[in-house]
């Protein structure tokens, strides 16, 4: 029996449960990038909120949402890693905006994702509204 590396198991989990097989190579790239930044990543099924924990260097990705939104969440959390390191887990609108801008830059590197830029923009705007209270 072939033993799968944990990264490959995670990729299989995201692709299978997230119904994202058509985006496997893109997801593989970003999962590797997250690991290269010394972060771990796990899937969650109990709620639809993805998040980053800077103190534990861990990203939680919800698979309880539409497939493309899972990708947008991964790109957004990766966008945080491209920004300055956060020292706490407090949400700051400027950090969130920067992470979404980084996510958009990453999205535009992939022709398969560019086709869905309008859905990305809608989701980003939906998420940004939740940060404002």
| 114 vs 7, higher pLDDT | 114
Residues whose CB is less than 8 angstroms from the CB of residue 122 and which lie 6 or more positions away in sequence, other chains included: none
- What is the structure's pLDDT at 86? 67
Residue 62 bridge partners (DSSP): 44
Which of 11-15, 41-45, 49-53, 128-132 is predicted with the least confidence, judged by mean pLDDT? 128-132
CA angle 20, 72, 102 (to 5 degrees): 135
Tens of pLDDT, residues 43-99:
999 988 999 998 899 999 999 999 999 999 999 999 999 987 666 666 788 889 999
Q: For residues 61 and 44, is the Cβ–Cβ distance under 8 A?
A: yes
Lowest mean pLDDT among 11-20, 113-122, 124-133: 124-133
For range 20-39, the mean pLDDT: 95
Return the DSSP state at 88.
S
Domains, the chain, ordered by start: 6-131 (3.30.2010)
pLDDT at 37 over 70: yes
What is the reported pLDDT for 85?
Answer: 66
Express each pLDDT in 108-117 by its tens digit: 999 999 999 9
Whole-structure pTM value? 0.91
């Amino acid at each position: 029996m072939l033993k799968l590396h944990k990264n490959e198991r995670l990729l299989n989990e995201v692709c299978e449960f997230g119904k994202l097989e058509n985006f496997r190579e893109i997801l593989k790239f970003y999962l590797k990038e997250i690991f290269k930044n010394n972060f771990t990543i796990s899937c969650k099924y109990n709620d639809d909120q993805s998040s980053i924990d800077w103190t534990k260097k861990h990203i939680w990705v919800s698979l309880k949402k539409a497939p493309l939104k899972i990708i947008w969440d991964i790109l957004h959390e990766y966008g945080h890693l491209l920004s300055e390191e956060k020292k706490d887990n407090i949400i700051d609108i400027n950090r969130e905006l920067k992470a979404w801008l980084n996510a958009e830059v990453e999205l535009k590197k992939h022709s398969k994702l560019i086709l869905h830029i309008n859905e990305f923009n809608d989701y980003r705007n939906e998420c940004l509204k939740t940060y404002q209270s």
